[in-house]
Chains A and B, each alone.
Chain A
Amino acid sequence: MRSRILLLLATVLWCGALYRPWSGLPPLHRFFHWTSSPLRIVSGGTDRLELEGPYAPLQIGLDSLGVPHVFGQDAQAVAYGVGWMHARDRLFQMELMTRVVQGRLSEVVGSVALESDIFWRKFEFARKAPVWYNRYSVREPAMAAELIAYSQGVNDYISRMGPGDKPLEFHLLGLEPSEWKPENLFYLLRYMSHILSYNEDDLKATEMQFVLGEECYYFWYPTRIPAELRHPIYPEFAMDSLTYRRLVTIPGLDAEQRVSGSSGVYQYRSPAPLSPVSMMRFPRAKVKTMDDFGLGSNNWAVSGRKTRNGRPYLCNDTHLMLAFPSTWYEIHKEVVGKGGRQGSWSRGFGVAGSPFVITGFNQRVAWGMTNATWDLSDFYWLERDGRGRYKLDGRWEPLDSFEVAIVVKGMEHPVRKRYYRTYFGPADTASGNLLALNWIGNQPGNEGAAFHYLESATNIEQAFQALHHFRQPPQNIVLADAGGNIGMMTAGAALIHPDPQRGIRIGNRRAARIPFTDMHDLYRRLNPTTGYVASANQEQVDHPLAGHVSTRYESRTRGLRISSLMENHPDSSMGFEELRALHMDVYDGEWEMLKPLLQQISGSYWTYLRDWDGVLDTVRVAPTLYNSFRRTAMEMIGARLDSGLRWLPVETYALNLLVTRDSLRLAQGWMPKLPFVRMVWDSSLARLSRSLGRDPQGWAYGRYHQTWVQHLLKLDPLSMAPFASPGNNRTLNVAGKLPSNHSASMRTVIGLGPQGPDARLMLAGGQSGRFNSPHYRDQIPHWLHGIYHSARRRGGFRQEEYPQSVQFRKKPGLLTPGKR
């Protein structure tokens, strides 16, 4: 009897142990089972799949790179197919992005995401997204119909998933895919807006002014870099003083008030307590560090006058975090015309979670973007009376508070957090302060409509009109059309600050809240006489207005390089190879600036540097010496300015100070420049000796500078080990960090003309987010060596052209949604 009881007990305990979640892990039975465990995971389905579907007939052909070519009878059918493919290839990425913005990541990954959730929950996007969707679906019913069809495509895929279809990450996290809703597009847009527009520079600036004092602070952090370091995107920009004054004046606001002294929000030698944010990019605080400068994107368009075949060309490469899966997803959407008529189509890169092509082309128009790098987050300090009120215009206004319960995996009780809705935006407490945040991400905006209309634009004017729907994150959008036009518009809303200083503002008056101003037609360029338009995240205009919009634009270096290469090419001399060469260019223009200084201090190492041309290839030693010096210089400047804040000066400006000044104002006082620079050089050499060995002959750049691509969950087996890569954070082919994981996330070269587009594309990574798919990382070698694939319109589905296909036929008796 005792044996029987013991056996029963052992069985119950065993089953209980298999089904019990362990700390940080899902129940073990999910892993250790022959078929429902990850062992059974399939890579993406059979070669020929035929299904019944609501938007049939619908055909999807997958080419040799796993790029879907979706052919449907109308835009909704195509959107359904795109949703189905996104779910098949990127389901976990979509789930993760949605959870980040909803502030529900801790539920599945545990306390590591708690800071991120605390940041996101204050915006109440889970409440706002359906409201925004309902509002915009009334205004844009065609767009809404596409979103509904897209969502159904995602959900139909989820409901048809067998045990082997669930992606590995869901197994690892013990997670089931959530239902996809049309309003999820707004989560995606806020997610992108956060990556490209959110910063906490105001908090940093207040603390740095307190720590350094005014003289030292303004030595390193000017509100605007000098004219000789600028290279504006819109060189012809002019504005009369009346318009300028009107733009930078806020009625009722005579002078802005800022917090002086320490607010305590950053106890400035420890990581930021308020620090939110995306675990994807920054483990702690979302502030710009030196690794972020020079990281942005490039785009340009050249007129037919400059090209050999007379076509205008448009090129784009967006610099984002390299990850598995890639940020971008290539797609070809085609509405098959009825009765032999030609239907509409578009092709390019979109993002899983949206049915639209975000950067790409159609029969007659091409578009591409770079981030505008504007200052779009203002912090306001609010005075409280301790009785749930804050002071506004001399009166005490009630604070509208709300509490959220954040469920954290592995914690018994949810974390409760109280926030406030204020006139200035959502507010949170930090070190005893009540700080409100006026961030563009909290604004409504229907960017989906911009892409919806861009996809069907037939000329550059229609494309400009489509961009009027675009508010965030503001982008420099370059355009070209088959009629030979090229142009650019910086689309989006800006905070035009009356006083271009950074720092926490005092929110005691309604007038103190700076409104968002739509900038669409202010920065616009069409068919310039130079024969090209280009942007690389630098200042838009050489006008004081630029300083009111942002104080920390990217360096001019990449923009200047594009211009100089364009101008070096005479008319009728450019083609695909020349444009590709720009994408792959690894010349750092700042070498010329630093060369005299390095000649002074480098001693015997000058033999390596003397004849160097500033090209950061992987085989030479000179790029290593140069880049290591730059990095060490910035780190030592940071250390002398209190690196605890991790808020470094604008890199080009700071390095220029090393060249042009005789002495430097550091936190401890003035210091002659040369001893400091020599210290930097020696420190840089010591660091290289430690990491690469004592013999400088072995300091080839490829050993020093490497790129790696990590999985979204930072799982090593799903990531790629670092590999030698050229470039740095100042080259057109950007690869900044060490090791670099931030670079060109895709590249496009699109030629337009009456006979149709001639386009070549490339993706950093692969189409599929499934680790065992052949398309998980198949384009990495292409990306590294500049191998593009041809992207042409297919003009209809022919099964034999594709190694894989999915075809939907109509279920008997089932009507197409929306046509009942």
Chain B
Amino acid sequence: MSKSSNNIFWYGLGMLVLAYVLTRMADMILLVAASALVGFFPIRHPRWWKYGLLALVSLVLTVFINGISWHTVRVVGEITKLSGPGYVAAVVLVDLITVVLVSTTVQWWVGRWLLASWYGYRPRR
């Protein structure tokens, strides 16, 4: 007998996990781990862009939680030769790609089988 998955719950939980990690963690390896965890979540009809949206919302949330100094962004942007907005865009892009790649990979390799066995969903071909 298959159970039904509450997509809203899993999206919400995924967003909280990512936002928490993005706000507080000391090393990026935790983002990789958190993305892998999200890949295990039984989200129905998972797509790579859904993980991307999840990450984007989490990033926006962290700006509200953390705040970012424009002066810091500008200086670090100049040092990395990316300018302030360029640097912010690069950071967002790197975090997005990380979440999308890791979550989707985990979902494709492991998550979908869990989904199938727990909820009886048929993996997409």
Please report A residues at the B interface, Cβ cutoff 8 Å: 3-4, 7-8, 10-11, 14-15, 18, 28-41, 43, 162-163, 168, 172, 715-718, 771-772
Supposing A8-B105, A32-B95, A717-B78 touch, asked if A772 and B90 sit within 8 A by C-beta, the answer is: no
A138 to chain B, nearest CB (A): 41
What is the CA–CA distance of A258 and B80 in the complex, to the nearest angstrom?
52
Identify which of A3, A28, A33, A717 gathers the most chain B CB atoms within 10 Å of its CB.
A33
Say yes or no: B101 contacts A14, CB within 8 Å.
Answer: yes
Chain A hits for B102, CB < 8 A: 11, 15
What is the CA–CA distance of A771 and B68 in the complex, to the nearest angstrom?
15
Asked whether any CB of chain A lies closer than 8 Å to the CB of B13, the reply is no
Asked whether any CB of chain A lies closer than 8 Å to the CB of B109, the reply is yes
Contact with A along B69-112 (1 / 0, CB 8 A): 10111111011100000001011111101100110110011000
Other than the known A15-B102, A32-B94, what 8 A-B pairs have Cβ atoms closer than 8 Å? A7-B105, A15-B32, A28-B94, A31-B80, A35-B62, A41-B72, A162-B26, A172-B79
Supposing A8-B109, A717-B78 touch, asked if A35 and B66 sit within 8 A by C-beta, the answer is: yes
Nearest chain B residue, comparing its CB with the CB of A771: B75
Describe B's contact surface by its main secondary structure: helix
Say yes or no: B91 contacts A32, CB within 8 Å.
Answer: yes
Asked whether any CB of chain A lies closer than 8 Å to the CB of B24, the reply is yes
Identify which of A11, A31, A162, A172 gathers the most chain B CB atoms within 10 Å of its CB.
A11
Say yes or no: B23 contacts A35, CB within 8 Å.
Answer: yes
Chain A hits for B22, CB < 8 A: 34-35
What is the CA–CA distance of A34 and B61 in the complex, to the nearest angstrom?
11
Supposing A7-B108, A15-B32 touch, asked if A39 and B91 sit within 8 A by C-beta, the answer is: yes
**Choice from A4, A34, A718 contacting B95 with Cβ under 8 Å:** A34
Supposing A32-B90, A33-B95 touch, asked if A717 and B28 sit within 8 A by C-beta, the answer is: no
Please report B residues at the A interface, Cβ cutoff 8 Å: 22-28, 31-32, 59, 62, 66, 68-69, 71-76, 78-80, 88, 90-95, 97-98, 101-102, 104-105, 108-109
Nearest chain B residue, comparing its CB with the CB of A172: B79
A109 to chain B, nearest CB (A): 15
What is the CA–CA distance of A14 and B75 in the complex, to the nearest angstrom?
26
Say yes or no: A772 contacts B62, CB within 8 Å.
Answer: no
B8 to chain A, nearest CB (A): 25
Describe A's contact surface by its main secondary structure: helix
What is the CA–CA distance of A11 and B62 in the complex, to the nearest angstrom?
24
**Choice from A8, A18, A172, A718 contacting B98 with Cβ under 8 Å:** A18
What is the CA–CA distance of A772 and B71 in the complex, to the nearest angstrom?
7
What is the CA–CA distance of A143 and B32 in the complex, to the nearest angstrom?
49
Say yes or no: A163 contacts B25, CB within 8 Å.
Answer: yes
Say yes or no: A33 contacts B109, CB within 8 Å.
Answer: no
Say yes or no: A4 contacts B72, CB within 8 Å.
Answer: no
Chain A hits for B26, CB < 8 A: 36, 162-163
Chain A hits for B31, CB < 8 A: 33
What is the CA–CA distance of A8 and B76 in the complex, to the nearest angstrom?
32
Nearest chain A residue, comparing its CB with the CB of B112: A4
What is the CA–CA distance of A35 and B95 in the complex, to the nearest angstrom?
10
What is the CA–CA distance of A34 and B28 in the complex, to the nearest angstrom?
9
B5 to chain A, nearest CB (A): 22
What is the CA–CA distance of A15 and B97 in the complex, to the nearest angstrom?
10
Chain B hits for A4, CB < 8 A: 108-109
Say yes or no: B59 contacts A34, CB within 8 Å.
Answer: yes
A27 to chain B, nearest CB (A): 9
Chain B hits for A43, CB < 8 A: 69
**Choice from A36, A39, A163 contacting B76 with Cβ under 8 Å:** A39
What is the CA–CA distance of A422 and B76 in the complex, to the nearest angstrom?
48
Say yes or no: B104 contacts A7, CB within 8 Å.
Answer: yes
Supposing A33-B91, A716-B78 touch, asked if A772 and B69 sit within 8 A by C-beta, the answer is: yes
A157 to chain B, nearest CB (A): 16
What is the CA–CA distance of A33 and B24 in the complex, to the nearest angstrom?
12
Nearest chain B residue, comparing its CB with the CB of A161: B26
Chain A hits for B71, CB < 8 A: 772
Say yes or no: B108 contacts A36, CB within 8 Å.
Answer: no
What is the CA–CA distance of A717 and B71 in the complex, to the nearest angstrom?
11
Say yes or no: B76 contacts A38, CB within 8 Å.
Answer: yes
What is the CA–CA distance of A672 and B18 in the complex, to the nearest angstrom?
80
A376 to chain B, nearest CB (A): 38
Supposing A4-B108, A18-B94 touch, asked if A29 and B28 sit within 8 A by C-beta, the answer is: yes
